[in-house]
Amino acid sequence: MQLWLIPILPLLGFLINGLFGRRFSKGLVSAVAIGSVALSFAWALRAILSLDLDHAHVEHYFTWIQSGAFRVNCDFSVDRLTAVMLMVVTGVGLLIHVYSIGYMAHEGGYYRFFAYLNLFMFFMLTLVLAANYLVLFVGWEGVGLCSYLLIGFYFDKKLATDAGNKAFIVNRIGDFGFSLAMFYIVKNFGSLDFATVFGSAASKPEGMLTIIGLLLMVGACGKSAQLPLYVWLPDAMAGPTPVSALIHAATMVTAGVYMTARSFPIYIHAPAAMETIAIIGIATAFFAATIGLAQNDIKKVFAYSTVSQLGYMFVGVGCGAFSAGIYHLMTHAFFKALLFLGSGSVIHALAGEQDLRNMGGLRRKIPWTFLTMMCAAVAIAGVPPFAGFFSKDAILLAAHRQAPWIYWVGTITAGMTAFYVFRAMFLAFFGKYRGDAHPHESPPVMLVPLVVLALLSIAGGFLFKIPAFLGTVFPSRSVDEDLTLMAISTAAGFLGIFLAWLMYVARPGMADALAGGVKGLYTLVYNKYYVDEVYDAAVVKPLVGGSRAVLWKGVDAGLIDGAVNGVGGRAQRIGGVLRLLQSGNIRSYATWIVLGSVVAIVALVEGAR
Amino acid sequence: MDVILFLVFAIIAVVCAINVVVQTHPISSAISLVGVMGSLAVLYLLLGAEFIAAAQVIVYAGAIMVLFVFVIMLLNAGAEVHKGRSLMARFLGLPALVMLLGLLAYFVQRLFPRGDMVHFGGFTGGSPKDIGMALFTTYLLPFEATSILILIAIVGAIVLARKEMD
Amino acid sequence: MGAVPISWFLTLSAVLFSLGVAGFLFRRGIITVFMSIELMLNAVNLSFVTFSYQLKKVDGHLLAFFVMVVAAAEAAVGLAIILTVFKNRKTLNIDDVDSMKN
């Protein structure tokens, strides 16, 4: 089936644009980039439609590592889970590529942007298609690299480069956990192939599987921005908005969820690990939602929303509802990408303004953006029958079955989600315009993807019945459709919308009054609970200071340089002493020769005797 | 007869050698060296080395020593002035020398306690014919190499000793 | 009355060689040192010819011949060097030619 074409086509796009794009026209660069992703999407579609996906279809390309009995191949495999991911990645990716043509039209480094985007697609598709942990890790690391490159795209702004560094470093911490998990898997299973590991997972002791599960979870926390490794995601908003949409909403951050879902045979035999995942997920969801309540930058609101929704996905996975988690992954890709792209459109309309306090009343000036974003907002709020309702409910129901308290916290979070999303919508689009730019609608090339995503957000829940589709992949868990629970969570969503309307449309001064009332709490939430500052003081500063003082001055300058220079100095001194042997006097040399020959003759004769 | 011949010329050789080392003026040393070479030529004849004896007189005494004398005259070398500066040579040289001499004598005695006796005509293989035969068959490569060596020496000597072209 | 023991020749060679070494070590004039070297070479030649007699082979003569050739070449070049040194340093005292000191 030539599955390798799916990732290779974007890689070709990267190479062409990266090497020659500087000389291409903008049109050619876009054509190459969009063309490669479109072809990849088409090929993936063909693969999915023509293969029997009930059994994983594995293609073996070459042996990568062979060391004794340990062997890692470069294999790709497709099954139903992969199919869902492929469609999401290539489909949403394609839409965002098209959007970027318009968004980045006036930016410098046009070809570089598309080259990086294509490179990202290559790595993400490798991650999704991988048939063993190591190839998945290649994709994992690669998307981290592309995230760094794209966050720091405006490399002349320190804010952006710092954010890129932060993303990469925090991701690395997660990757360390992932690596440890892989080592442990190799030690106990002897192989990293999914087929081998998952086939024999049932027979391994629970303790070992729990350790593997927890270590994999550390990796997922890093990549998917869960507590405590979520701090990079809000800062990553310093990158261009399409990047935020693609990488930090729809695809890269979902890699952790995908990996966890893929490893379900390990997790279903390690309930302790699953419970940990669920707890961390719900904690992150709640925590991030509270922060999102008070943010004023439109992108930051959605960034914290992403962290929160990722928490939901992990709750789904952690409570055994794997297909529900993946379902939410897909719907979230639709409406979160739409929210980001829409805010990009707003920012583009206002020539760079991102602060919600300087917006307002835009719904008449940029109607298309307003309408499409509204579709996303109702979807994320869980309003039936839009896409978000189905997926969120599936997760909450599974959570209730697992541990009711998770359900209640999740419901409250759903209410908060609805509140802050609609707060952003009302602040931006309703009321009077508070800024001083000249808002203009975005060009069609940016609007068409918004419309497509809006349609998907509306109808995605009906069109793609993921839980049924993935039913053959994951162990089935019959979840009763408890109407009461569904009603309660939906009501929470509506309550959130109503409160937002109340505080920002009906009585505009109410929000500030409330904030003044709980000043301390508000400041805490507004400053993201000072988590970044705590990390900085507790981890970053000691490390940097220690590196500087101990490793740099002590070890490098002192020890190593001292040793090397010391050797040189010693050689010089010895040479200086030996130099004095050269007396310059020929007769003394001659004497030495005679002495030496006497010794030599004696030695020779003694030896011969 | 051979013994007397040997003793006479051996004593001449040793005396001349001592003279070479002891004399202050280089020209006296050069003449004494000629004497050494002459006596050695006779000893070669005793050993049946006719060609070598002839070569010794012609090449060594006749050419090389003449060269030495020319150079001494060219440089107007005078008698040496006593100005010892090498402590090393003064203190270690004599013992080293005595050690060397002793060693050599010892080995000679050890290796040849009752060796052959040398008399005139004891060895007839030293004629020019025999030398020629060996030179152009077994020792052809060294022969060619030495001819190149002489070429190099000629060129080197000319380059080193010519006057600067102003 | 007849023959000379071979060891006498070798002893003579040793004596001459040592005298050459003595001259080489203790004399200061360059030319005298050079002549001591020639003395040493002659002593070795005597040694070669003696052994050739003992082994009843002509190879020793050949070696002595080559030594003579090399000594000739060496004398030529060496004296040329001495001339150059004299031109530059105006001295024939080897103790004064010590610019390689330290």
Least confident piece of the model among A185-199, A371-385, A451-465, A559-573: A451-465
Sorting pLDDT into bands at 50, 70 and 90, what band is B164?
low
Comparing CB atoms, the residue among C25, C99, C101 nearest residue A594 is: C25
Domain spans of chain B? 2-126, 127-166
Comparing CB atoms, the residue among A584, A587, A594 nearest residue C101 is: A584
For residues A572 and C90, the answer to whether their CB atoms sit within 8 Å is: no
Q: Collapsing DSSP states into helix, strand and coil, what is residue A351? A: coil
Residue B102 at interface with chain C, using a CB cutoff of 8 Å: no
Sorting pLDDT into bands at 50, 70 and 90, what band is B112?
low
Q: Residue A607 to residues A602, B21, B99, B108, B109: CA-CA distances in angstroms?
A: 8, 34, 19, 18, 19
For residues A260 and A220, the answer to whether their CB atoms sit within 8 Å is: yes
What is the gyration radius of the CA atoms in chain C, in angstroms? 17
Give the rounded percent of residues in chain C with a pLDDT score beyond 90.
Answer: 38
> Taking CB atoms and an 8 Å limit, are C94 and A579 in contact across chains?
no
> Taking CB atoms and an 8 Å limit, are B1 and C1 in contact across chains?
yes
Residue B100 at interface with chain A, using a CB cutoff of 8 Å: yes
Quick: pLDDT tens for A200-257.
878 888 888 888 888 888 888 888 888 888 888 888 888 888 888 888 777 877 888 8
User: Residue A69: what pLDDT?
Assistant: 80
CA–CA separation, A314 and A310 (whole Å): 6
User: Residue B3: what pLDDT?
Assistant: 86
Residue B42 at interface with chain C, using a CB cutoff of 8 Å: no
- From A126, A143, A83, A548, select the one nearest A326 (Cα to Cα): A83
For residues B42 and B9, the answer to whether their CB atoms sit within 8 Å is: yes
- Average pLDDT for residues B82-91, to the nearest whole number? 60
Residue B68 at interface with chain C, using a CB cutoff of 8 Å: yes
Contacts of C27 in chain B (CB under 8 A): 21, 80
Contacts of A582 in chain C (CB under 8 A): 100-102
User: Residue A247: what pLDDT?
Assistant: 80
Among C30, C34, C92, C101, the residue to mutate for chain A (most A Cβ within 10 A): C101
User: Residue C45: what pLDDT?
Assistant: 95
User: Residue B141: what pLDDT?
Assistant: 94
User: Residue A480: what pLDDT?
Assistant: 65
Q: Residue A103 to residues A243, A338, A352, A405, A445: CA-CA distances in angstroms?
A: 11, 14, 11, 43, 9
Comparing CB atoms, the residue among C6, C28, C76 nearest residue B80 is: C28
Q: Is the pLDDT of residue B53 over 90?
A: yes
> Could you tell me which residue, A273 or A465, shows the higher pLDDT?
A273
CA–CA separation, A279 and A317 (whole Å): 11
Q: Is the pLDDT of residue C74 over 90?
A: yes
Residue C100 at interface with chain B, using a CB cutoff of 8 Å: no
For residues A22 and A111, the answer to whether their CB atoms sit within 8 Å is: yes
Contacts of B97 in chain C (CB under 8 A): 18, 21-22, 25
Size of interface B-C (CB pairs under 8 A): 251
For residues A252 and A225, the answer to whether their CB atoms sit within 8 Å is: no
User: Residue A322: what pLDDT?
Assistant: 84
- From A219, A301, A231, select the one nearest A259 (Cα to Cα): A219
Contacts of C51 in chain B (CB under 8 A): none
For residues A213 and A263, the answer to whether their CB atoms sit within 8 Å is: yes
- From A18, A150, A10, select the one nearest A90 (Cα to Cα): A10
Q: Which helix (H) or strand (E) holds A192?
A: none
Comparing CB atoms, the residue among B67, B89, B125 nearest residue C79 is: B67
C62: closest CA of chain A, how far (Å):
25
Residue C85 at interface with chain A, using a CB cutoff of 8 Å: no
Residue type at C100 in one-letter notation = M
CA–CA separation, C61 and B130 (whole Å): 10
User: Residue B151: what pLDDT?
Assistant: 94
Contacts of C42 in chain B (CB under 8 A): 36-37, 40, 60
User: Residue C1: what pLDDT?
Assistant: 54
CA–CA separation, C68 and C79 (whole Å): 16
CA–CA separation, A160 and A148 (whole Å): 10
Q: Is the pLDDT of residue A191 over 80?
A: yes
3-state helix, strand, coil in chain B (%, to 5): 75, 0, 25
> Taking CB atoms and an 8 Å limit, are C25 and A591 in contact across chains?
yes
- Average pLDDT for residues B154-166, to the nearest whole number? 78
Beta bridge partners of A76: A59, A130
Contacts of A590 in chain B (CB under 8 A): 89
Q: Could you tell me where the beta strands, DSSP code E, fall in A443-568?
A: none
Residue B98 at interface with chain A, using a CB cutoff of 8 Å: no
pTM above 0.80, yes or no: no
Structure tokens at C23: 């001259």
Comparing CB atoms, the residue among C35, C53, C95 nearest residue B20 is: C35
- Most confident of the ranges A261-265, A341-345, C45-49: C45-49
For residues A380 and A461, the answer to whether their CB atoms sit within 8 Å is: no
B82: closest CA of chain C, how far (Å):
8
In chain C, what are the domains? Answer: 28-94 (1.10.287.3510)
Contacts of B23 in chain C (CB under 8 A): 32
User: Residue B68: what pLDDT?
Assistant: 92
Task: Tell me phi and psi for residue B59, to 5 degrees.
Answer: -80, -55
| Residue in the block written with tokens 């927890």 | A214
User: Residue A253: what pLDDT?
Assistant: 79
Mean pLDDT of chain A: 84
Quick: pLDDT tens for A532-580.
777 777 888 888 888 877 777 777 777 778 888 888 888 888 888 888 7
- Average pLDDT for residues B55-70, to the nearest whole number? 93
User: Residue A433: what pLDDT?
Assistant: 77
Residue C40 at interface with chain B, using a CB cutoff of 8 Å: no
Residue A605 at interface with chain B, using a CB cutoff of 8 Å: yes
Q: Is the pLDDT of residue A498 over 80?
A: yes
Provide the chain A residues 528-587 that lie in CB contact (below 8 A) with chain B.
Answer: 583, 585, 587
Residue B109 at interface with chain A, using a CB cutoff of 8 Å: no
Q: Class assignment of domain B2-126?
A: mainly alpha
Sorting pLDDT into bands at 50, 70 and 90, what band is A448?
confident
Contacts of A583 in chain C (CB under 8 A): 98, 101-102
| Residue in the block written with tokens 């508000």 | A522
Residue C94 at interface with chain A, using a CB cutoff of 8 Å: yes
User: Residue A251: what pLDDT?
Assistant: 81
- Average pLDDT for residues A310-314, to the nearest whole number? 89
User: Residue C70: what pLDDT?
Assistant: 94
> Taking CB atoms and an 8 Å limit, are A587 and C95 in contact across chains?
yes
User: Residue B114: what pLDDT?
Assistant: 64
User: Residue B83: what pLDDT?
Assistant: 56
